Amino acid sequence: MRQQERLAGADFLRATACLLVLAHHFALRLDMRRIPDELGPTANILRFGNFGVAIFFVLSGFLLAHPFWRALDAGGDMPSLRHYTIRRMARIAPGFWFAATIGFALSLTLLALPLTPELVLRYVSGLLFMSQWHWRTLFPVEADGPLWSIPFEVTSYVLLPVCFLLLFRLPFLRQRPLLARFAWLCVITGVLLAHVLILTLFPLDDIERGWQYGLQGGAKEWMPRYNPIGFFAVFALGALAAGVEVMLPKRRSSFFDAAALLALAIAGYRLVISPGGSAEAYGWLEIPYGFPVFPLAVATALVSLSHSQRLGRLLDNAPVRYIAKISFGIYIWQEIILILIQRLDPGSFGVSSENVVTGWLQSCGLAAALIILVATLSYALLEKPAIHFGNRLTSRQPNRATPFKV
């Protein structure tokens, strides 16, 4: 992507999201019973790094919706769904499939799980990006829990153009930006109503429900509150933010610097006050990760940073851009590396240390270095070639307004 097309602040929020999720998985390996009392609040806050998942959904909706809004506002045709599909698949499928396959192999070898039809079903449903529809398959493989969110996001990738197709089919919305944004608010309302129907119509029993029963028990604890339609509501807020962003004047203003700081402060505050509630920070309508305050604050920050005078470019510095570039690899490989460290060194993460915090920090440092190394290799050898292949297949696509590396 050309530099002038870069949306300021997007790399910062992408990097923040992946590091928050990494901090969350580090914190899950800290023995809270052995740490000093004064470190308890900080450790509890780190556990809510799972809010990074919400940032990913808002960010993806924000970036992917731009071409649709621009075409709609210009009165043009809807962007090519073929090109859209190729680019999405090229970006996520190779890395996801490879990580899922390694995770499946490690489940049978390192974790010594028996090869059962259910284990195969989970793996295959993950490869087909269909694991998000039932608690039995929500976690595609035992050795790589974070992969659960990728099929959820794929559902949002599908629903985004479907919903825009409805808008493009209504001629009176073309070249009427305010009316089109109101229509998108109606789409979000419909999505939220569908989420409520799912909560009402598909309750789950309490048999083997809970994290004490492993990943499937945890999935049963999450569902039906964790469902692809509810997560699309988060994604759709990001898409709405994109609609607002393309309406704004192109000139930058210090007003947006202040607005971005306020939005980031609100998002940070919503995360920090989460300890004491549920581990998933269920918000309005029982949608996780502080809905709607947290995703709205992130969406506002994205709009504001992209029009800020200094803050967006300041936050998108070279190290941040690098972390953002390899963020997908960090996300899909982190749990595999953490499990490998724990299995090869049962005393890691402070388990056998007198000073649990020091031992935990040392293991986290080693894990972070390995994760960044593997993510770098994953990007260079797997993701980047696939991205370039997708770009070549769609090189004649018009309206390339957003980065393909979402």
Of 78, 74, 80, 76, the C-alpha closest to 396 is: 80
Of 245, 226, 214, 242, the C-alpha closest to 155 is: 226
Q: Which of 104-113, 284-293, 345-354 has the lowest mean pLDDT?
A: 345-354
Q: Do the Cβ atoms of 129 and 114 come closer than 8 Å?
A: no
At 219, is the secondary structure helix, strand, or coil? helix
Query: How is residue 383 annotated by DSSP?
Result: I
CA 182 to chain centre: 26
Residues 6+ apart with CB under 8 A from 373: none
Average pLDDT value for the chain: 94
> Cα(35)–Cα(43) distance, rounded to whole angstroms?
9
Could you tell me which residues are beta bridge partners of residue 308? 253
Q: What is the structure's pLDDT at 5?
A: 54
Query: How many angstroms separate the Cα of 361 from the Cα of each of 43, 57, 91, 220, 367?
Result: 12, 29, 33, 32, 10
Q: What is the structure's pLDDT at 4?
A: 36
Residues 6+ apart with CB under 8 A from 288: 50, 54, 225, 226, 280, 281, 282
Confidence of residue 1 (pLDDT cuts 50, 70, 90): very low
Confidence of residue 396 (pLDDT cuts 50, 70, 90): low
Q: Which two tokens stand for residue 241?
A: 């933010």
Whether 3 has a pLDDT exceeding 80, the answer reads no
Average pLDDT over residues 185-193: 98
> Cα(240)–Cα(238) distance, rounded to whole angstroms?
5
Average pLDDT over residues 120-137: 97
Query: 193-222 in b/e burial notation, b at 16+ Cβ within 10 A?
Result: eebeebbeeeeeeeeebeeeeebbbbbbbb
Q: What is the structure's pLDDT at 402?
A: 38
Q: What is the structure's pLDDT at 395?
A: 83
CA 359 to chain centre: 29
Tens-place pLDDT, residues 201-246: 999 999 999 999 999 999 999 999 999 999 999 999 999 999 999 9
Average pLDDT over residues 123-134: 98
Q: Do the Cβ atoms of 7 and 238 come closer than 8 Å?
A: no
Largest CA distance in the chain: 69
Of 362, 239, 361, the C-alpha closest to 298 is: 239
Average pLDDT over residues 141-148: 97
Q: Which of 344-348, 354-358, 400-404 has the lowest mean pLDDT?
A: 400-404
Confidence of residue 6 (pLDDT cuts 50, 70, 90): confident
Tens-place pLDDT, residues 115-128: 999 999 999 999 99
Of 85, 84, 66, 62, the C-alpha closest to 74 is: 66
Average pLDDT over residues 81-104: 97
DSSP secondary structure of 84-133: HHHHHHHHHHHHHHHHHHHHHHHHHTTS-----HHHHHHHHHHHTT-GGG
Whether 403 has a pLDDT exceeding 70, the answer reads no
